Amino acid sequence: MRRSERMAVITKKLTSNPNQLISLSDFSDTLDAAKSTISEDLAIIRHVFGSLDLGRIETVAGAAGGVRYVPSMSDADIVTTVQQVCEELSDPNRILPGGFLYMSDITSDPSLMSKVGVVFATRFAHTNPDVVVTLETRGIPIALMTARAFNVPLVIVRRVSRVTEGTVVTMNYVSGSAKRIETMSLSRRALEPQTRVLVIDDFMKAGGSARGLVDLVAEFRAEVVGIGVLVETLEPAHKLVRNYESLVVLEKVDEENRQVIVRPSSWVSSS
Amino acid sequence: MRRSERMAVITKKLTSNPNQLISLSDFSDTLDAAKSTISEDLAIIRHVFGSLDLGRIETVAGAAGGVRYVPSMSDADIVTTVQQVCEELSDPNRILPGGFLYMSDITSDPSLMSKVGVVFATRFAHTNPDVVVTLETRGIPIALMTARAFNVPLVIVRRVSRVTEGTVVTMNYVSGSAKRIETMSLSRRALEPQTRVLVIDDFMKAGGSARGLVDLVAEFRAEVVGIGVLVETLEPAHKLVRNYESLVVLEKVDEENRQVIVRPSSWVSSS
């Protein structure tokens, strides 16, 4: 096999398995090439990925070592992705009675959410999470794609407890905006103590659900290391959690003039 | 840029955007290379992907044309993936009181479900779906990864109707095994008439949910072209839908002897 062919195979294997350590022997067996040759191939991929901001190729030395692809996105690509979300959200046909916004098609768009997952993986890279946690339902695709980029498990907190979840911890909490009592419930098996948890959700208004997730995670003696939401509303300005990151700020849904006013969050525009 | 470098960039772009048509000009701009050079690069990728069963590279001629990566999995890799699911499922610690099986960690494992998505995309390639439909909650990750492989939207049918879904169609149906009346509901906007729908779910016992989804899709004058489930139970043998495909058959959960008996579905073993 020639180098150009090996490059295609190695690149495919690395980028299809984000954050998974692949041994050099694995490549050298598949491609019938010496490890030193594979190392040279990897150096080329590392260099070109670095120069075009396509993510990092990391090498781990030693017997249990290997190489892995760490997805990350350039600032320019983050801006483009977030702008795409803003553009789709600002379509006035999304306005529902009561000033709500229909966004289920956006939050379950596989291609767009897979990019949003890499945006979150880039933004929260320093938090080094062991697991991504979300509250059903609409945030699941975003959370899954983020978990995939980090190569960590996804844990879905339920609103109702199901028999197939086994023993669960159920918590009542007060939704921040409507001041209604809601329930969330999580299987006892789903989260180990000391786990580093990244909370990912689709929407934050007052932050009641996020607050609830932080409290529920604490019941498992695990630790929330970051909170990411796709869309936050401008009002109320005071949220029930701190240190969260959103991609998009929903400033206003004007039912009368049929206008949706959204903008990228400040960290996005300034990056 | 040398050919070896271009191969890494082109492969990354194609495989990260499954089933998306990318124009040759796009590559030739990014890589500052002539279209004829890019065509040669693509021919090499097409050939090596073909010979190693890594998916297909398809070229669409004409002004609006380009090239796309169609994910597909070799028979051997399908067997390996399904066996991995079987192995994980057969862990006796998954047995819950009442003979239920805890499988939420499997159905939300990003790496494994991304492979399962490609298995379904391979198995249902001939159905040429416009959209993937699932019922919340546990099937969402599998359905999302399948939708991603096909590059079609994911539509999530809800068990409760939410204000953020706008006008919904709500349907009562009878769950096949427990004979309980359940509700499913889908936003009026979510599905156009004549859409070709692939139904993907995590679990099928009597097939009540799948039957409900087929009926609900019919209410939108759309058409179910395939039904895929990760796990089906051996009993009851008579399901409420026909022409579904499962990956795994759950033969028995033996609470007393703490044994879970699972096997790959027959089409998997014979492929």
pLDDT of residue A63: 85
In sequence order, what DSSP letters do the residues of A121-141 get, joined into one string? HHHTGGG--SEEEEETTTTHH
Say if residue B81 is in the same domain as residue B155. yes
Chains A and B form CB pairs within 8 A to the count of 175
Q: Which of B12, B43, B70 finishes a domain?
A: B70
ipTM of the complex: 0.97
Which CATH number covers residue B22? 1.10.10.10
* Lowest model confidence (mean pLDDT) among A155-159, A265-269, B5-9: A265-269
Determine the angle formed by the axes of helices B110-123 and A140-150, rounding to 10 degrees: 110
Instruction: Look at residues A51, A70, A89 and tell me which one is the last residue of a structural domain.
Output: A70
Whole-angstrom distance, CA of residue A44 vs CA of residue A42: 5
The DSSP letter of residue B61 is -
Asked if residue A12 and residue A111 are part of one domain, the reply reads no
Q: Are residues B49 and B177 in the same domain?
A: no
- Asked whether the beta carbons of residue A100 and residue B158 sit closer than 8 angstroms, the reply is no
- CA atoms lying within 13 Å on the CB side of residue B135: 28
Residues A42-79 pLDDT 10s: 999 999 999 999 999 999 998 889 999 999 999 999 99
**For chain A, what is the total number of helices (H) and then of strands (E)?**
9, 12
Task: Provide the terminal-to-terminal Cα distance of chain B, rounded to the nearest Å.
Answer: 42
pLDDT of residue A271: 65
Backbone angles phi, psi at A257, to 5 degrees: -95, 10
CA distances from B150 to A110, B68, B189 (A): 9, 11, 21
Which of B45, B70, B95 represents a domain boundary (last residue)?
A: B70
Enumerate the residues of chain A whose CB falls inside 8 A of the CB of residue B141: 140, 144, 154
Question: Are β-strands B66-70 and B95-96 bridged in parallel, bridged antiparallel, or unpaired?
Answer: unpaired
CATH number, domain containing residue A241: 3.40.50.2020
Token reading at B42: 């693509």
Contact call for residues B68 and B19 (beta carbons, < 8 A): yes
Any idea of the CA torsion for B264, B147, A123, B1, to the nearest 10 degrees? 100
Q: What is the pTM of this model?
A: 0.97
Q: Which residues contact B224 (CB under 8 A, 6 or more apart)?
A: B197, B198, B199, B213, B214, B217, B218
Is residue B64 located within the same domain as residue B123? Answer: no
The rounded percent of chain A whose pLDDT value lies above 90 is 92
Say if residue A181 is in the same domain as residue A219: yes
pLDDT of residue A130: 98
Range of the structural domain that residue B156 is part of: 75-270
Question: Inter-chain contact A109–B137, Cβ cutoff 8 Å?
Answer: no
Which positions in chain B touch A102 (Cβ < 8 Å)?
Answer: 164-166, 187, 189
B249 neighbors B265 (Cβ within 8 angstroms):
yes
Residues A233 and A183 in one domain: yes
**Lowest mean per-residue pLDDT among A95-104, A213-222, B77-86, B169-178:** B169-178
Closest Cβ opposite residue B54 in set A12, A141, A152: A12
| DSSP assignment letter at A1 | -
pLDDT of amino acid B271: 65
